[in-house]
A and B are shown apart, each in its own frame.
Chain A
Amino acid sequence: MTIRRKLAALVAGLLLMATPVLVLAVDDPSEMLPNPQQEARAQAIGAQLRCLVCQNESIEDSSAGLARDLRRVVREHVAKGENNQQVMDWMVSRYGNFIRLKPAFSLGTLLLWAMPVLALLMGIGTAFLFYRRRAAAPPPPPLTEDEKARLARLTKD
């Protein structure tokens, strides 16, 4: 095998490995906006929108019919020049906060967002109490004669 053929095989292999990254659920390239910047923005918005049919996928990842329709709507709005917030608000006004994959920060979601910090503080608190109690515990009582004899027996060899 010549070096050139090896190189070609290598390139083909790398391309094959890269395809799963390149392929989103966009079934049809005609869905995509001609302007790459706008398309990237539409994909970023779509990645934050829940597909309401296959609820743990974003509309960019899902190939459900509704996801395709919502992708088209997002692109229409982006092409009209709306900003990300406006598109998001349009979706939330129709489908509620459930459509956001990343919940908005509000009074209702305060506990949700604060939970990592709270959990960390609780962990630090527990560890602190645990170590303080251990440091404050009195030293164990000296071994009795029986225990000493048993220890000597066990450590003889």
Chain B
Amino acid sequence: MTTPSDNLTRRRLLMALPLAGAGVAGVAFWKMLDGMQHGSFNPHDINAPVLDRPVPDFTLAPLPPAEGFTTQDLQQLTKPVLVNFFASWCIPCLAEMPTLMTLKDKLTMWGIAYKDKPDNAASFLHHSGNPFTRLGDDHTGRAGIEWGISGVPETFLVGPGGIIRWHTAAPLTDETINKFLLPLVQRLQTP
């Protein structure tokens, strides 16, 4: 048998329900914003279904004097190569460059200038240093679409045989490189 005071408690609980719901949503939203500031949540890091897939068919214009590369070049790899999409107009790419420069002795890197003027890309690499041993020019952005990128910088680790082993849509950091990328490269090099 419910007494009137029981009823009152139940009503108060029911009234608190929407408030509790709003509270939960608020905390979730707060965490999301907080994660965006600390880099643990990136809404642009789209989980493209590229892992363990062969590299796509793409064509790049050359970016002299560097040697260009093709789908076949990646398919014939025997060692892992890091493929990095960058652009001279992209501030995060500029910020990422020092990190890539420290990595260049440990890992082969090939660069793709995304929607960039060849002159601008060349002067960008002149100023920031050039970590890439081969370079291609994706002036129209079409190769980027074939790879499934949604912006720059995006980075792919291509393993032997031209299989994509890792992908990120965020600028590389020393932490990701040391904790994740280099151990993975090590594993791929010792089959």
Contacts and interface: CB of A to CB of B under 8 A. Distances in A.
Interface stretch (B42-50, B73-81, B99-107): B42-50
22 contacts: A52-B150, A52-B151, A53-B150, A65-B115, A66-B150, A66-B151, A69-B140, A69-B141, A69-B142, A69-B145, A73-B142, A73-B145, A93-B49, A94-B48, A94-B145, A94-B146, A94-B147, A94-B148, A95-B46, A95-B150, A98-B46, A98-B47
Name the prevailing secondary structure of the B interface residues.
Answer: loop
A33 interface: no
Interface residues of B, number: 17
Interface in B37-60: 43-44, 46-49, 56
A31 B183 CA distance: 46
Given A55-B43, A69-B140, A95 B151 contact: no
Name the prevailing secondary structure of the A interface residues.
Answer: helix
Interface string A84-109: 00000000111110100000000000
A70 interface: yes
Interface of B: 43-44, 46-49, 56, 115, 140-142, 145-148, 150-151
- What class of interface size applies to chain A in its complex with B? 10 to 19
Nearest to B1: A138
Contacts of B48: 94-96
Interface in A23-54: 52-53
Interface of A: 52-53, 55, 65-66, 69-70, 73, 92-96, 98
A96 B46 contact: yes
Nearest to A51: B150
